[in-house]
Amino acid sequence: MSIQAVPLAKAYRLLNHGPTVLVSAQHGDSVDVMAAAWACALDFTPAKVTVVLDKSTYTRVLIEQSGQFVLQIPTRDQAAMVLGVGTQGLLEHPDKLNAHGVQLFQYDAQPLPLVQGCSAWLLCRLIPEPHNHAAHDLFIGEVVAAYADDEVFRDGHWHFESADDKWRSLHYVAGGQFYVIGDSLNVSAATA
Amino acid sequence: MSIQAVPLAKAYRLLNHGPTVLVSAQHGDSVDVMAAAWACALDFTPAKVTVVLDKSTYTRVLIEQSGQFVLQIPTRDQAAMVLGVGTQGLLEHPDKLNAHGVQLFQYDAQPLPLVQGCSAWLLCRLIPEPHNHAAHDLFIGEVVAAYADDEVFRDGHWHFESADDKWRSLHYVAGGQFYVIGDSLNVSAATA
């Protein structure tokens, strides 16, 4: 495996197919990681994203304090961890990251906590929007750096169909049920 | 096939796995349908959604005029149509709906244009947010009714794994490439 930078103009492609993401943030010595199915691309250039963060999550507190967060794309192999960190809050379960085997790293001198084993990472600067935070739990970030593991994303495209199945992205429904991403389907503009 | 109402508290599950959607709207005699990969659930109760609508789209004009829109989940069989209506604008291609074989219907006395052959429909009332419209092309809707075809969504859950493959949802990347949704993966909370 090898982590490669993704050009910011292509960063939307990491989210375009609608995967469930992990959201991580750090303020001082406090770090939290949560799961979010409600994350979405918002713009191409500058690259922006939206993510819905419930008021009960400590990750949201850390994002409001630090003004930064990471959206990362977990893999099929990480489904139990995603459910675990998505179900437990850090305040009630201060050991939740260890309990679910979350390992963090920093990359490229960016002072943000990245989750190991994911397929891609979008490092974001919070764009403060107090009305959206308060009324809708909706947070907007500008993507300042993006990386992907070239085992499954390279040259601006996902390669789920040729990579090992363990790399497939997760798409949460409810009650512990995910779908993993499936086959590639190419439609030519000529036939469209 | 049989269209069934989806309880509004379960409507988020139609979008939770991140499918590409079709957005339709009508004002007077004008109707448009576009594709959007950037649509997302926003809240459970009342059920709300977000969708990003570029200023160049006529669908956006119709939504601003009528205050209503529909998000619907197209199927694998409809990929070429999705690419077609997502690529062409109604002002430049006034015959685009006919050209791509889009057939519309109304349901349950709701005065909104629904696209035939989709797997689910979320009928939405626009929540006016002028700042989000202008600054981010971001539109929020409250879901006022939701329906699904019970061939593939029933009892509050998708059944992609047992339905015909033609029902699988589409997850757009770029350049005419989609992924279709894949296998179901159940993680028990006990192992998480």
Q: In angstroms, rounded to a whole number, what is the distance separating the alpha carbons of residues A59 and A86? A: 11
Q: Which DSSP helix (H) or strand (E) runs through A62?
A: helix A58-66
Residues of B in contact with A18 (CB under 8 A): 17-20, 37, 171
> Is residue B189 in a domain?
no
- Domain residues for A114? 3-191
Q: Classify the C-alpha dihedral A179-A182-A187-B1 as positive or negative.
A: negative
| Interchain contact A83–B (C-beta under 8 A) | yes
Residues of A in contact with B191 (CB under 8 A): 80
Between strands A48-52 and A39-43, the pairing is: antiparallel
> Is residue B192 in a domain?
no
Backbone dihedral angles phi then psi of residue A67, each to the nearest 5 degrees: 70, 20
> Is residue B186 in a domain?
no
> Is residue B191 in a domain?
no
Amino acid letter for position A162: S
pLDDT of res. B109? 86
CATH code of the domain in which A78 resides: 2.30.110.10
> Is residue B83 in a domain?
yes
> Is residue B185 in a domain?
no
Residue contact B17–A18, C-beta within 8 A = yes
pLDDT tens digits, B69-99: 999 999 999 999 999 999 999 999 999 999 9
- How far does B163 lie from chain A, in Å, by closest CA? 14
DSSP A77-88: GGHHHHHHHHHS
> Is residue B90 in a domain?
yes
pLDDT tens digits, A57-104: 999 999 999 999 999 999 999 999 999 999 999 999 999 999 999 999
Backbone dihedral angles phi then psi of residue A12, each to the nearest 5 degrees: -60, -25
Nearest to A96 by CA among A31, A36, A37, A52: A31
Residue contact B37–A20, C-beta within 8 A = no
ipTM summary value? 0.96
Number of domains observed in the structure of chain A: 1
> Is residue B10 in a domain?
yes
